[in-house]
Structure 1
Amino acid sequence: MVSKAVICALLAVAAAAPQGYRVPTPAPTYGGGPVVPILVDDRQGPDQFGNYNFNFETGDGISRQEQGAPQGELGAVASQGGWSFTFPDGSPAVFSFVADGAGYQPQSDLLPTPHPSPPTPSPRSRRPARRTPPAYLIPPPPAGTTDFLKHNPVTKYSREARS
């Protein structure tokens, strides 16, 4: 009886064993496009003073150039340069930049530009108009008296001049 149980267990293990099928690994692919030749590759520096420049151009119309040098007492590098390439539709893309103490400033016709902002009102026009208080009017005299007009011909309140 024990031998029948052992034989059944061995048959179950043999049936559960892998059958030798493996998923084939895909063949590696290298590259993906044509080889583009490098036409110009000129690199200089940084030299003992920190100056550098480089320029390269490829056979498909990509170019990049940059030059830089330390500026100021701290020696922060200010650089300028640019790059260009051709879009698949044949139109050119040209960018230039300056990076210095004022930050990175790219320039190109392809960069987005913000909408023009509406004119800002001057500080004077933002203040409410100064209102002059209305002059105090002397009430009319009681009906039937005319002596008031003879002695006080002024109808607006005013301060008397001092002598």
Structure 2
Amino acid sequence: MRWQDIDQQPCSMARALAIIGDNWTLLVLRDCFLGVRRFDDFQQRLGVTRHVLSDRLRKLTEGEILEKVAYQQRPLRHEYRLTGRGRDLYPVIAHLAQWGDKYLADSKGAPVLRIHKQCGHPLHAQLQCGHCGDIVEAKDIRVEEGPDYIGQLLPAQMTSRTK
């Protein structure tokens, strides 16, 4: 399968990666969550070429992660704002950054701290069950077939549902 066809897989992760699964795209999203909105600001911060940045912003806009909003009429200029769909990516960005802080930070520690505004303490992103409230790790999760499952994603020993 070619990368440009990855969104055709019956897999939510593959479909998501078709929109956000690129180094530059994740850095654009990081900057969006830091308040960057304008093309020139993205380009200056990231050092990415105009062509690559235009392409990533277009994909994020088409994927309804960002919306393009005019902030000036003469000349016409736009900024890029996170949509609800885009804001829902924050846990992904926070977990990825937290993983990098844990395993890839230098001896000085994390380059950026995420502070919870309500209590003033550093954020520790966790996966939590929405039903019982338990903190969940990978070992605590069972994967089952969903309604869109067509028998390609799970290893054979995992494809039968547990009753």
TM bucket, shorter chain: under 0.3
Structure having the larger proportion of residues in strand? 1
TM-score normalized with structure 1 length:
0.18
